[in-house]
Amino acid sequence: MTDTSRIALVTGAGSGVGKAAALALLAAGWRVALAGRRPEPLQEVAQASGVAADRYLVVPGDVSDEQSVQAMFAKVVAHFGRLDLLFNNAGVNAPGVALEELTLAQWQNVVDINLTGMFLCIREAFRVMKVQSPRGGRIINNGSISATTPRPNSIAYTATKHAVSGLTKTASLDGRKYDIAVGQIDIGNAATDMAMRMAKGVLQANGEVAVEPLMDVNIVGQSIVYMASLPLEANVMFHTVMATKMPFAGRG
């Protein structure tokens, strides 16, 4: 298939990492379905890309709702005919409060979107990719470096991101028989609205508040394009891209 025949679906495409990934894929020649809760930001991203209208599709939806996810994937297949890549990106955080102060509703919201939502999208992508011709495709899950190491006061986010690694490993195993390659990108301190608080100072493991370096979010888009460009016989199962000087490795 030529570049312009490859079809991607990006969840959480209206801002941040999802926006950067969608723009990078469009620039690389992909046709991209942009998914998110609100259509207006998705349309703005699509128009900002400068590509022809037949290269993108705006598909509003809620990844935590099973019927919404099913409808979203059905629209993509009806419009483009197939799906070659899912960037499973949509995610939220909970307020940075002490563990004992986190409410059940705040916990459940993060679980519903970051974990259940990611599962629902993986399941629907499997259902599409296993029966299309040519068969197969690629799924890239957004894990975050919180899939490896927590920050203080982050139990809901960290727990779900650790769980994403389990989703990735199991889906990678279960996808083999369908030629579905599943990998994960773990991102550290990309300059998005969600991460800009790092530049103002954030709580560290030793109790201090420190400013942390950020990297251009477009670097993440480049990483997604690289992972997506591989033939299905190869897979980047875990890829970490982070601001070089952020406090991740070492003691703190």
| Structure confidence at residue 250 (pLDDT) | 75
147-165 mean pLDDT: 95
**Average pLDDT along the chain:** 94
Percent of the chain with pLDDT over 90: 84
pLDDT one-digit tens code per residue, 71-119: 999 999 999 999 999 999 999 999 999 999 999 999 999 999 999 999 9
Higher-scoring residue by pLDDT: 62, 198: 62
DSSP 71-119: HHHHHHHHHHS---EEEE----------GGG--HHHHHHHIIIIIIHHH
pTM: 0.94
Residues in Cβ contact with 133 at an 8 Å cutoff, skipping those fewer than 6 apart: none
Looking at residue 198, its pLDDT comes to 79
Task: Tell whether the model's pLDDT for residue 70 goes beyond 80.
Answer: yes
Q: Which of 56, 157, 178, 226 is catalytic?
A: 157
- Domains within the chain, CATH numbers bracketed: 3-242 (3.40.50.720)
Check whether the bond before 134 is cis (ω within 30° of 0).
yes
What is the pLDDT, as a whole number, of residue 251? 57
- Residue 56: active-site member: no
pLDDT score of 196: 73
The pLDDT value recorded for residue 1 is: 40
In which residue are the tokens 């389990």 written? 166
* Dihedral over alpha carbons 105, 108, 110, 113 (to 10 degrees): -120
Question: How sure is the predictor about 202, in pLDDT bands with cuts at 50, 70 and 90?
Answer: confident
Angle between helices 117-129 and 155-175 (to 10 degrees): 20
What crossing angle do the helices spanning 39-49 and 16-27 adopt, rounded to 10°? 30
